């Protein structure tokens, strides 16, 4: 494949990505980085977790994205009394109207879709949350020993309220690790809030138009994996991941002081793929150090676990990760220089 062809594909990717983003922007005001994060997860074929207080537009964002994509969509409202069968489906006794014979028939649950909005996912019990583990990792559902394949592409876009709020359950670490990004949805600023009021309190109703289908999404997912990740950039990415491991050879002071557990290999895989998307959006077919730095927080903030000292001092995972990002050098020769200076 020639450089000219690669450049054309990168340009087309950027245009089509922007087309989806523009449709989302017709409904969603502000939250530009949040929209970028959700679309990045979509372009690398993974799931996304949106955290924020109620009423900030998390659910609306997911519904609007579903409108812009020609994919099957379902919404599951997670509540304390939700059961695994309410998500996955169950075997029901069905009677044949002609013979009167009865047999078990599997009734598919709402997870059999392509975009699943798991709304307020942390209001369900851990047992119900764990029902999503196989689905999110394998893209399959197993009920009564029978395995069912989900249609591709398949995304879980989940919203959750801050765990400090009443009626919430912490998500299991194994489930958190299956989300590529965790995005923090903040409050709108003055201008954004004024625009929201104008759009939602008048008789004008705006909806996103469908601009992309599943086959095109899979085409771009394949293109993303072809972007070049040079050895020296990959080494930086690997060292960033290892620097989250307490008492490890690459741990910085903040890691040893404030973290109990570090990132799994999924964190490094996520950074590699997400940084490739960033490179394409910049019109490049190779990943830069800056691409990796820009995806570090959303890829890692839900994969590190703070210890008691961090909680006592009111430290957040973002603060620890920013310190790691500041301390880990980009190139190996920088490590040698720093060591010699020390």
pLDDT in tens, 284-318: 889 999 999 999 999 999 999 999 998 898 889 99
Total structural domains within the chain:
2
Q: In the prediction, which pLDDT does 196 show?
A: 77
Instruction: Please tell me whether residues 63 and 189 are part of one structural domain.
Output: yes
Give CA–CA dist 34/39, Å, rounded: 9
Instruction: Please tell me whether residues 92 and 170 are part of one structural domain.
Output: yes
Give the residue ranges of DSSP H helices in the chain. 3-25, 32-43, 58-68, 84-88, 126-129, 133-138, 173-176, 190-200, 214-226, 231-242, 253-258, 265-281, 289-300, 308-312, 317-327, 332-341
Whether 268 shows a pLDDT value over 90: the answer reads yes
Q: In the prediction, which pLDDT does 340 show?
A: 47
Instruction: Please tell me whether residues 150 and 241 are part of one structural domain.
Output: no
Instruction: Please tell me whether residues 274 and 149 are part of one structural domain.
Output: no
136-151 per-residue burial string, b: 16 or more CB within 10 A, e: under 16:
beeeebebeeeeeebe
Instruction: Please tell me whether residues 141 and 271 are part of one structural domain.
Output: no
Q: In the prediction, which pLDDT does 165 show?
A: 58
**Mean pLDDT value of segment 28-57:** 87
How buried is 127 (Cβ within 10 angstroms: 0-12 exposed, 13-18 middle, 19+ buried)? exposed
Q: Where residue 232 sits, what CATH number does that domain have?
A: 1.10.8.80
Instruction: Please tell me whether residues 193 and 249 are part of one structural domain.
Output: no
Mean per-residue pLDDT over the chain, rounded:
86
**Mean pLDDT value of segment 70-96:** 87
**Number of other residues whose CB lies within 10 A of the CB of residue 89:** 18
Residues making up the chain, counted from first to last: 342
Instruction: Please tell me whether residues 127 and 35 are part of one structural domain.
Output: yes
Whether 225 shows a pLDDT value over 50: the answer reads yes
Instruction: Please tell me whether residues 177 and 251 are part of one structural domain.
Output: no
Instruction: Please tell me whether residues 221 and 242 are part of one structural domain.
Output: no
The residues, ordered by sequence, that sit 6+ positions from 166 with a Cβ below 8 Å of its Cβ are none
Give CA–CA dist 214/338, Å, rounded: 48
Whether 241 shows a pLDDT value over 90: the answer reads yes
The residues facing 102 across adjacent strands are 95
Give CA–CA dist 155/157, Å, rounded: 6
Q: Which domain holds residue 314?
A: 227-342
Give CA–CA dist 128/139, Å, rounded: 17
**Number of other residues whose CB lies within 10 A of the CB of residue 304:** 23
Among left, alpha and beta (phi > 0; psi -120 to 50; other), residue 228 is: beta
Question: Where among 226, 244, 272 does a domain terminate?
Answer: 226
Instruction: For the chain, give the percent of residues with pLDDT over 90.
Output: 44
Q: Where residue 76 sits, what CATH number does that domain have?
A: 3.40.50.300
Contact present, 153 and 143 (Cβ < 8 Å): no
pLDDT band at 259 (very low <50, low <70, confident <90, very high): very high
Instruction: Please tell me whether residues 123 and 220 are part of one structural domain.
Output: yes
**Mean pLDDT value of segment 232-242:** 95
Q: In the prediction, which pLDDT does 188 show?
A: 79
Question: Where among 191, 226, 261 does a domain terminate?
Answer: 226
Whether 331 shows a pLDDT value over 80: the answer reads no
pLDDT band at 169 (very low <50, low <70, confident <90, very high): confident
Instruction: Please tell me whether residues 113 and 185 are part of one structural domain.
Output: yes
Instruction: Please tell me whether residues 144 and 289 are part of one structural domain.
Output: no
Helix (H) and strand (E) counts for the chain? 16, 13
What is the 8-class DSSP label of residue 161?
A: -
Question: Where among 209, 226, 243 does a domain terminate?
Answer: 226
């Amino acid at each position: 494949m020639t450089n000219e062809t690669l450049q054309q594909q990168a340009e087309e990717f950027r245009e089509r990505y922007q087309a989806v983003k523009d449709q989302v922007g017709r409904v969603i005001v502000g939250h530009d980085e949040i929209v970028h994060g959700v679309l990045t997860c979509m372009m690398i074929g993974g799931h996304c977790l949106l955290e924020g207080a109620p009423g900030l537009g998390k659910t609306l964002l997911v519904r609007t994205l579903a409108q812009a994509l020609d994919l099957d969509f379902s919404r599951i409202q997670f509540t304390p009394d939700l059961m695994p069968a309410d998500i996955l489906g169950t075997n029901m006794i069905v009677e044949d109207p002609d013979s009167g014979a009865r047999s078990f028939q599997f009734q598919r649950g709402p997870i059999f879709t392509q975009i699943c909005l798991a709304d307020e996912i942390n209001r369900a019990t851990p047992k119900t949350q764990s029902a999503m583990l196989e689905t999110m990792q394998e893209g399959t559902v197993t009920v009564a020993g029978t395995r069912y394949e989900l249609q591709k592409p398949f995304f879980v876009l989940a919203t959750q309220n801050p765990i400090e709020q009443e009626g919430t359950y912490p998500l299991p670490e194994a489930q958190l690790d299956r989300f590529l990004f965790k995005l923090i949805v903040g409050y709108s600023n003055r201008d954004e809030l004024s625009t929201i009021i104008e759009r939602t309190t008048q008789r004008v109703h705006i909806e996103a138009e469908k601009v992309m289908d599943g086959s095109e999404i899979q085409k771009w997912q394949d293109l993303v994996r072809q972007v070049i990740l040079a050895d020296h950039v990959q080494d930086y990415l690997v060292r960033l991941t290892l620097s989250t491991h307490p008492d490890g050879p690459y741990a910085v002071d903040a890691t040893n002081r404030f973290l109990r557990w570090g990132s799994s290999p999924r964190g490094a895989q996520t950074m590699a793929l997400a940084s490739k998307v960033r490179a394409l959006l910049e019109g490049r077919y190779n990943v830069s150090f800056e691409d990796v730095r820009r995806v570090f927080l959303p890829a890692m903030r839900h994969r590190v676990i703070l210890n008691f000292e961090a909680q006592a001092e009111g430290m957040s995972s973002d603060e620890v990760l920013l310190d790691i990002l500041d301390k880990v050098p980009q190139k190996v020769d920088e490590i040698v220089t720093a060591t010699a200076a020390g």
